[in-house]
Chain A
């Protein structure tokens, strides 16, 4: 009797439980869909992040490339400035002492050596000292064709650069780095010998070779012009 009266209550509880379970199942289904959507979103985001990282790497590589090119262009500008300064200094005067001083300054400040000698060609076979720095001038007063590597340059009129040559200078020429004949229309006007480079210089750079070329012709013409100008008219303003 009692169980008959309780039946509706039990059925209601059972119905409520079914409803509750159904709502839980619905919620699980909803959450599963949400998880699936999130997984898709995460995957999309990962792919986007990967693409961004790749783009970033490409931009960084391009930036590095630009930085390298900028440094190269700046180096070229610097080299051109060196050549301009050297040329300007050589041709800014007709005064002999100032031309010799300009050659010294170019070697010291632009090439980077504090040991140099400048000679003028006395004749085809002999050089006469006109200026030097950091060496004993008396030791280099005159040079003839038989005097070592410098004599060889006097004979051949071909420049000597120690790192390009099989000849190893010795004796008083031991530290010779370069010997540059100054030529004007194949006529020997003089010679420049450059000995030890400054300690911070690791070696000759490309611009140094260009400066050698420039010195060979422009220092020759500058020196030659001083011969044709009386000293009193020399100094150009």
Chain B
């Protein structure tokens, strides 16, 4: 069964890159272009995991992550933050706002797939 992955990013380049990486796996891809649209799609589509960019118009990824965590309808959905800067402060903020894991740009396909599969496997184990 295909797992639903919500990609939230305002960059066409990153979205295309993520789609190409995820095309290798059994994933159904949904796209949102900013934090607000990401939250709406998370509620309506109930994805298995969300890939959330940090820098976005209207609502940034860190704030969107906090909103997702505070809403009962989306609080359970794992979030992987996609950060440009890997400095400790950014990572700490991302985890404080409730992200499950993070990847840094430029995105490494192997790393992203490994983290995604780890999260999905862990969720499947909990469900069993």
Chain A interface (Cβ < 8 Å from any Cβ of B)? 71, 74-75, 77-78, 81-82, 84-86, 88-89, 92, 102, 105-106, 108-112, 114, 198-201
Contact = CB atoms under 8 A, between A and B. Distances in A.
A167 to B, nearest CB: 26
Contact of A85 (B20, B104, B108): B20
A112 B13 CA distance: 13
B21 interface: yes
Given A108-B84, A198-B105, A199-B85, A71 B17 contact: no
B110 interface: yes
Contacts of B106: 82, 109-112, 198, 201
Given A81-B109, A198-B84, A89 B20 contact: no
| Residue with the highest number of chain B CB atoms closer than 10 Å, among A75, A77, A81, A88 | A81
| Residue with the highest number of chain A CB atoms closer than 10 Å, among B21, B86, B105, B107 | B105
A78 B21 contact: yes
Nearest to B108: A78
Contacts of B85: 114, 198-200
Interface in B62-121: 84-87, 104-110
Nearest to B15: A85
Interface in B1-53: 11-14, 16-17, 20-21, 24
B14 A199 contact: no
Nearest to A88: B16
Nearest to A112: B106
B68 to A, nearest CB: 23
A75 B85 CA distance: 22
Contacts of B84: 108-109, 114, 198
A198 B107 CA distance: 12
A71 B109 CA distance: 10
A75 B110 CA distance: 7
| Residue with the highest number of chain B CB atoms closer than 10 Å, among A74, A78, A108, A110 | A78
Contact of B109 (A78, A84, A92): A78
Given A105-B12, A105-B13, A81 B20 contact: yes
| Residue with the highest number of chain B CB atoms closer than 10 Å, among A74, A105, A109 | A109
Contacts of A198: 84-86, 104-106
28 contacts: A75-B109, A75-B110, A81-B20, A81-B21, A82-B17, A84-B20, A85-B16, A86-B13, A88-B16, A89-B12, A92-B12, A105-B14, A106-B13, A108-B105, A109-B11, A109-B13, A109-B17, A109-B84, A109-B105, A109-B106, A111-B106, A112-B105, A114-B85, A198-B86, A198-B104, A198-B105, A198-B106, A200-B85
A102 B13 CA distance: 7
Contact of A77 (B86, B87, B109): B109
